[in-house]
Amino acid sequence: MKNILLVLIALMTLGSCATKVTSENQLTDFQKELVEFYNNTSTSPLNQEEKNNFVGITFYPYQEKYNVKADFTPINDGDVIPFPTSAGKIQYYTAFGMATFTIDGQTHSLKIYQSHPIKEEYKDHLFLPFTDDTNGDGTYGGGRYIDLDLTKSFTPEGQIIINFNEAYNPYCAYSKRYNCPIPPGENSLDTRIEAGVTYKK
């Protein structure tokens, strides 16, 4: 949960996930943490009015095929890239590396980023924003995020583990008060990633 909270604070846009599910005994640990985060009044990112209007979201059923080991190509001295945000502002990220993986026989690539400048407490955090064909048809139209840990997400062989079952929505899916980075066009997947947090109003 520590990594999730760090990201939510660091982005200032912050990313959000779920609270209402049909059966908690079917949840993964990740989902349980998100439910607890939203249900806890001391950590919920929503104000009282937003809580009253919040209908909650559900999760796609966990599927192992969406927990992928991707080939990783580092980007040394990556460019600092301006990310437009939902609030019409700019946040900056550094290109960290490229992940290439296969789902259902189709090969995809996504670029992974680090925030810029990097604060000491976030030096191990990697940011993966993406869109896919479920956006607006099962998931939030503005795309989703995945958090990665520089110290934990890599295999001994140098691959990076990306678990799309842990994809979550930014706070701006539920509130106009937040400033969420918009996933870049190059991180658009031409397929449906039916994993992670869904979206409904």
pTM (2 decimals)?
0.84
| Structural contact between residues 197 and 167, judged by C-beta atoms closer than 8 angstroms | yes
Q: What mean pLDDT, rounded, does the chain reach?
A: 85
The pLDDT, as a whole number, for residue 46 is: 84
- Cα 22 to chain centroid distance, Å, stands at 22
Strands 67-74 and 90-103: antiparallel
Report whether pLDDT(24) > 80: no
**Amino acid sitting at position 65:** K
3-state secondary structure of 26: helix
Q: What is the pLDDT of residues 145-175, one digit of tens each?
A: 999 999 999 999 999 999 999 999 998 888 8
Q: What is the pLDDT of residues 88-101, one digit of tens each?
A: 999 999 999 999 99
